[in-house]
Amino acid sequence: MAMSGGVDSSVAAARMVDAGHEVVGVHLALSRNKTYGDGRQRGCCTLDDARDARRVADKLGIPFYVWDMAEEFAEAVIDDFVEEYRLGHTPNPCLRCNESIKFTAVLDRALAMDFDAVATGHYAQIVQGSAGPELHRAVDPEKDQSYVLGVLQPRQLSHSIFPLGADTKDVIRAEAEARGLLVAQKPDSHDICFIPDGDTAAYLRRQLGSLPGDIVDAESGEVLAQHDGTYAFTIGQRRGLQISRPAANGAPRYVVDVEIGTRRVTVGPPELLDVYALEGIKPIWTTSPLGDTPIELLAQVRAHGVPVPARAHELDERVMVELLVPIRGIALGQAVVLYDGTRVVGSATIASTTRAA
């Protein structure tokens, strides 16, 4: 049972115990920089979180250990995150963490030690289908985390348990309260646990240094401003452009392109952001491969994005996705997760997009 010290994994652990499993709590140490939280910071990696998790385990009467995954995490998640940004992409580190750490490094270690499965406090559901375990959305649309689990393969799913997927967050909070778990009032954790202040641009500037370039108008080609690193820009971004002059027609401008070689950031009107088709690489299928005949599915490109109807098929290790409703502002490096109703079919990393209809 992966225990972060937060509400969700604590209730999940309690439910695992109630279900009669022989449960061992494991807290992942993902950072060698050990600090105590200040009580305000939301995260998953402070010593306070480890202590909270230990208290919950003690309360439940289960053994508890800290597993040091800092090296694996730095390599598979943080280095990848920085490198992707350097390439002008926008990665999702939670997906990478699930793919490489929680459901690979942790799961493999647990299986090697003769445990049967890894349970986590993710909001998602596993349904036994005719072709094997299926990954489905959680019932709570606000909390659904199936998107960041879209990287799981059949073998991983068959050894995973998500005890929370059939309930809403309110039910879980109330249950934490009723069980007397002190973590009931803890805020939800941050999007990116290794950037506790939430300032991704500043983090990347520290990692990558200053790489100045131009901010250019898409329509006039005019240089509007300077920036000190393309990594601070994501396609579709509107805020933080620091352009003093408004567009000719007064309309807001968005980042429409980020070019690494020339360090050029292009801004323009939102219409330029509409994506009609995309190509994904490194596909992962939760149950079985998609196949090369286009089929109608739903496509989602952000953790809390709206799924849109799409037609998708495989072509030479790639996934071709035609979006039947355009999605505005897709950055390369994001994951596209394909759904069949509530079922996760699979995911791929977006390598190119088509913006003209």
Partner 1 sequence: MSDRSYLDHAATTAMLPAARAAWIAASEHLGNPSSLHAAGRFARKVVEESRESIAADLKTRPSAVIFTAGGTEADNLAVKGLYWHRQQTLGAKEPLRVLASAIEHHAVMDPVAWLGDHEGAMIEWLGVDREARVNTTAIGELLSNNSDVALCTVMWANNEVGTIEPIERIAELCKEHEVPFHTDAVQALGQVPMNLGALGADAVTVSSHKVGGPFGVGALIVNPATGFTPVLHGGGQERDVRSGTLDAPAIAAFAVAIKHAVEHQVEHAQHLRELRNKLVQGVLATVPGVVLNGDPDLLDGGRLPANAHFSFPGCEGDSLLMLLDAAGVDCSTGSACTAGIPEASHVLLAMGVDERTSRASLRFSFGYPSTSADVDRVIAALPGAIERASRAVSSRSA
Give catalytic residue positions. Answer: 97, 193
Q: How far apart are CA 339 and CA 341, in angstroms?
A: 6
- The one among 1, 12, 44, 50 contacting partner 1 by CB under 8 A: 50
Q: What's the distance, Cα to Cα, between the start and end of the chain in Å? A: 47
Site for partner 1 in 12-31 (CB under 8 A): 24, 27, 29
Q: How far apart are CA 216 and CA 234, in angstroms?
A: 15
Burial class (CB in 10 A: 0-12, 13-18, 19+), 267: buried
Q: How far apart are CA 138 and CA 288, in angstroms?
A: 21
Q: How many residues bind partner 1 (CB under 8 A)?
A: 22
For partner 1, the closer of residues 69 and 301 by Cβ is 69
For partner 1, the closer of residues 74 and 171 by Cβ is 74
Q: Residues 6 or more apart from 36 whose CB is under 8 A from it?
A: 46, 47, 48
- The one among 37, 42, 59, 66 contacting partner 1 by CB under 8 A: 66
CB of 132 vs partner 1, minimal distance in Å: 22
CA angle at residue 30 from 233 to 208, to 5 degrees?
30
Within 10 A of 17 (CB to CB), how many other CB atoms are there?
Answer: 17
CB of 283 vs partner 1, minimal distance in Å: 22
- The one among 17, 37, 42, 47 contacting partner 1 by CB under 8 A: 47
Residue 112 in the binding site for partner 1 (CB under 8 A): yes
For partner 1, the closer of residues 23 and 278 by Cβ is 23
Q: How far apart are CA 109 and CA 195, in angstroms?
A: 27
How many Cα atoms sit within 13 Å of 227 on the Cβ side?
27
CB of 63 vs partner 1, minimal distance in Å: 6
For partner 1, the closer of residues 54 and 318 by Cβ is 54
Residue linked to tokens 């909270």: 52
Q: Residues 6 or more apart from 294 whose CB is under 8 A from it?
A: 311, 312, 313, 320, 322
Task: Find the farthest-apart pair of alpha carbons in the chain and give their distance in angstroms, rounded.
Answer: 67
- The one among 20, 33, 113, 317 contacting partner 1 by CB under 8 A: 113
Site stretch for partner 1 (CB under 8 A), options 43-51, 316-324, 325-333, 348-356? 43-51
Q: How far apart are CA 281 and CA 329, in angstroms?
A: 19
Is residue 334 within 8 A of residue 151, CB to CB? The reply is no
For partner 1, the closer of residues 113 and 248 by Cβ is 113
Residue 276 in the binding site for partner 1 (CB under 8 A): no
CB of 72 vs partner 1, minimal distance in Å: 8
x-or-dash pattern for partner 1, window 72-111, by CB under 8 A?
x--------------------------------x--xx-x
Q: Residues 6 or more apart from 100 whose CB is under 8 A from it?
A: 72, 76, 77
CB of 220 vs partner 1, minimal distance in Å: 54
CB of 245 vs partner 1, minimal distance in Å: 52
Q: Which residues bind partner 1 (CB under 8 A)?
A: 24, 27, 29, 34, 47, 50-51, 54, 63-68, 72, 105, 108-109, 111-114
